[in-house]
Amino acid sequence: MAAVLGCCAFWIATRWPQGSTAAMMAAVFSSFYATQDDPGVALATFMRWTIVSVPITGLYLFLILPRLSDFPMLLLALSPFYLVVGYLQGDARQLPRAMPLILGVTGALALQETFSADFESFINGNMAQIAGIGAALMATRIFRTLGADFSARRILRLGRRDLAALAEGRLAADRTAWISLMLDRLGLIAPRLAMAAPDAHPSGADDSMLDLRVGLNVIFLRQIESERAVPGLRAALEALAQAYRGQRSAASDSVLLARIDALITAVCRSDADQDHAPRLIAALAGLRRTLFPAAPAFVMETG
């Protein structure tokens, strides 16, 4: 809205014949990359290569096309440019450069059955397009201040929040649903980590996988808890939820590790016939290994 209104105000104030084109381009390009976390990067690239397309179009319009008389010659004249950019378009790394070149040159040429070219219209039209992209870029830089770093942190926070809810029993202990949810979030966070600053989230994807594994072990524990009462299990899950409700710290990790070790010890020492004991110990060991890979190996005290 800001980009369009800015272009319209400039158009009305200056009575620029192509001001409507600038406003239209501002609307188009503000929407074109709107789904990206930081559209400014893509808009800046598009604007840069749109500017590069202007002299190429001018060369064709005012030097090459006036000398052509039939379609085969037109095809021959255009083939070097379109073969090159067509090849670049097939490369994902070059696509952000090839696309504005293709659109810029093709749109400005506006080939018709009868050749006509007006230098004033050509300059005004291209300036309007570039001005519209520039307005969209400026508005994006001003108002879209939440970049890939923010989105990555938000997704990681959602994972921790749901893990706490899972441990507290407020989220269904559904193994398939949890795997689907966490893999979906992993797919969302991976491209954002690639765009984020190199030191912003060095282990973001690893954190998502860790949350996935922790959640699977918690689901096993919740399932055992629903089958029978296990002394100390609820306390361990509450400690896990407490650790994930806030920022994990050395104190919360120490409490959680102690609860897990105490529960493993209690299960191992129990003389009762427990069919669930192997599953319970496996889930607790998996939780311990996932959360505290650097912790000393578990040793059950004798006596």
- Answer yes or no: is pLDDT of 201 > 50: no
DSSP 113: S
- Answer yes or no: is pLDDT of 157 > 80: yes
Domain-wise residue ranges, the chain: 2-143, 157-291
Helices 2-14 and 119-143 pack at an angle, to 10 degrees, of 140
- CB 7: neighbour CB atoms within 10 A? 27
- Answer yes or no: is pLDDT of 202 > 50: no
> For the residues of 243-288, what is the DSSP string, one character each?
HHHS---HHHHHHHHHHHHHHHHHHHH--S--TTHHHHHHHHHHHH
pLDDT-derived band at 42 (thresholds 50, 70, 90) equals: confident
Report the distance separating Cα 70 and Cα 25, nearest Å.
33
Residues 6+ apart with CB under 8 A from 31: none
For the ranges 96-100, 145-149, 196-200, which has the lowest average pLDDT?
196-200
- Which pair of structure tokens corresponds to residue 97? 């450069």
Report the distance separating Cα 36 and Cα 135, nearest Å.
18
Cβ pair 155, 189 in contact under 8 A: yes
Residues 6+ apart with CB under 8 A from 247: none
pLDDT-derived band at 132 (thresholds 50, 70, 90) equals: very high
The pTM of the full predicted model, rounded to 2 decimals, is 0.54
- Answer yes or no: is pLDDT of 24 > 80: yes
